[in-house]
Amino acid sequence: MGFAHRLLFIRHGETDYNREGRLQGQRDIPLNPKGREQASAVGRTLRKLAGAEIDRLEAAHAFVSSPLIRTRETMQRARLAMGLPPQDFRLDDALKELTFGDWEGLTWPEVQARDPAGAAARAADKWDFTPPDGESYATLALRLKPWLAGVERDLFVASHGGVARALMVLLADVAPVVAAEASIHQGRAILFAKGGFRWIG
């Protein structure tokens, strides 16, 4: 899709679910101590490497986050580390992670034990597979399209790994099969701009 703006994107820091390999989806899990440090670290890195852009985005009130607690806390800690008021950002439901439905809270070995057919189907087509009562990456991308169409300026976004993968497809022409397997690092930022993306830090 044609998109004229820049998105400076951070994924939330680590949670205990991440550490344990559990599917979080839309469960509202807070950051753990490592995740809190990752959130502060990405703020320090961005202040050092992209300080002028951070100041420009702040002047435009262009910070927006998923409403889930792990992304809100990540945004607050990153902003504090950038020398900005921690609470001055908007929330947008469109930026929530995809939901894994009945699989949320399970580890992959538990999914494979409880739903081997579903686990095999997802392994065969990770982008399009929909967990029971959940969402696929393809559905998430459709959810994000109207949000992107409404973006009127460059933004700083705190969100989730699934959202980053969908944005890779929508904004950077990454093949869905590649995006679905992409590692989305915690404690680093992605710049989506000019039809591509690059990692910062």
- Residue 15 corresponds to which tokens in the numbers above? 């949670």
Residue 110 is among the residues annotated as catalytic for this protein? no
CA distance 8 to 131: 30
Catalytic residue, chosen from 14, 73, 97, 104, is: 97
- Judge residue 132's burial from the number of C-beta atoms within 10 Å of its C-beta, 0-12 exposed, 13-18 middle, 19 or more buried: exposed
Q: In whole angstroms, how far apart are CA 116 and each of 111, 132, 134, 160?
A: 7, 13, 16, 26
Residue 97 is among the residues annotated as catalytic for this protein? yes
Q: Active-site residues: which are they?
A: 12, 97
